[in-house]
């Protein structure tokens, strides 16, 4: 079976191996694929792997040999699954491979805000501490998070792991979740959205992007939050209205916004969040630790092998 990987670079910029796919058939690997190149590159493929390249109905209709689409991510919104299913094309994803890494990024962002580690490290490379008259100095607020209230929207794999870590830090955890209250682990209090907004010191978003959650955090929601609150988004960029968040940061109605995702990626240079000192933006890298990427490739290859052997694995 001919295999084509349309955008390998994001998951594997060259430090990992796709060798396991060679057991299945010849593999053609492209670092990146533009929309207008998709059909031409995938024309002879029976098995197609994609990360962010869109495989919509119009692409599927022009790929008569296609039997399998493997998404190199957990979210599979880049594929028109209805069109695929109508053609009998199997679609798979890679669930839960990045849970530990994304949870780690949540607290990396949080500790950056409350401890300003990078700020002091940069200053001291330039001699600030060496010229200080006292044994220590600080020129930013330093905040202890133990005892603060940590709110979570969504208790899937990542949200649940974030909750565990928050409890270990001594935070009081509240969650907006569809799970019944009596099914939640000890230390997590189920609550409603208005209460979550008004009572949390740190709010972390871990829900899927749907019509109901798009711009979940907007001007109205931000008005209900504490002006000292920290908002963290490692879920999906459009969960927040970025213009409203930027306005809240600028006006002092939100202390900090930490995001590993934006509504447009890569962002336009004029995105208002990029220039704000209390917006901490990382370039969608929470998932990209070497350990998580190894898991991603291993599961993606295993999914393909399972398909060729007639087994169903991570089918969506």
Cα–Cα distance between 65 and 63 in angstroms, integer? 6
Peptide bond into 266 cis (omega under 30): yes
Q: Are 204 and 162 in contact (CB under 8 A)?
A: yes
Judge residue 30's burial from the number of C-beta atoms within 10 Å of its C-beta, 0-12 exposed, 13-18 middle, 19 or more buried.
Answer: middle
For residue 143, give the nearest of 164, 121, 116 by alpha carbon.
Answer: 116
Burial 232-258 (b: 16+ CB within 10 A, else e): bbbbbbbbbbbebbbebbeeebbbbbb
**Strand 90-92 with 149-153, pairing:** unpaired
Four-CA torsion 173, 94, 291, 98, nearest 10 degrees: -20
Asked if 282 and 260 touch (Cβ cutoff 8 Å), the reply is yes
Distance CA 314, CA 316 (A): 6
3-state secondary structure (DSSP) of residue 27: strand
Count CB atoms within 10 A of the CB of residue 274.
13
Rounded CA gap, 241 and 238, in Å? 7
DSSP helix/strand/coil, 291: helix
Q: Which residues are part of the catalytic machinery?
A: 236, 265, 284
Q: Which of 199, 153, 206, 207 is nearest to 175 (CA)?
A: 153
């Amino acid at each position: 079976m001919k295999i084509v990987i349309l955008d390998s670079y994001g998951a594997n910029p060259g430090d990992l191996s796709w060798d396991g796919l060679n057991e299945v058939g010849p593999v053609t690997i492209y670092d990146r694929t533009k929309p207008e190149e998709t059909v031409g590159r995938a024309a002879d493929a029976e098995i197609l792997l994609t990360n962010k390249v869109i495989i919509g109905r119009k692409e599927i209709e022009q790929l008569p040999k296609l039997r399998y689409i493997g998404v190199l991510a957990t979210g599979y919104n880049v594929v028109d699954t209805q069109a695929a299913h109508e053609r009998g094309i199997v679609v798979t994803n890679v669930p839960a491979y990045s849970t530990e890494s994304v949870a780690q990024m949540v607290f990396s962002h949080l500790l950056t805000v409350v401890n300003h580690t990078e700020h002091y490290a940069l200053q001291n490379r330039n001699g600030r501490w060496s010229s200080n008259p006292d044994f220590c100095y600080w020129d930013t607020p330093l905040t202890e998070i133990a005892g603060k209230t940590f709110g979570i929207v969504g208790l899937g794999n990542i949200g649940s792991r974030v909750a565990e870590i928050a409890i270990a830090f001594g935070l009081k955890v509240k969650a907006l979740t569809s799970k019944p209250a009596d099914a939640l682990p000890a230390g997590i209090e189920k609550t409603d959205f208005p209460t979550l907004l008004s009572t949390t010191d740190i709010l972390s978003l871990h829900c899927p992007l749907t019509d109901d959650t798009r711009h979940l955090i907007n001007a109205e929601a931000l008005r209900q939050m504490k002006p000292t609150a920290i908002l963290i988004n490692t879920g999906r960029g459009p969960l927040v209205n970025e213009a409203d968040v930027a306005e809240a940061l600028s006006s002092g109605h939100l202390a900090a916004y930490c995001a590993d995702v934006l509504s447009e990626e890569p962002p336009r240079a004029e995105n208002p969040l990029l220039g704000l000192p209390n917006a901490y933006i990382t370039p969608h890298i929470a998932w990209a630790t070497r350990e998580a990427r190894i898991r991603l490739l291993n599961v993606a290859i295993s999914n393909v092998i399972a398909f060729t052997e007639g087994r169903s694995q991570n089918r969506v």
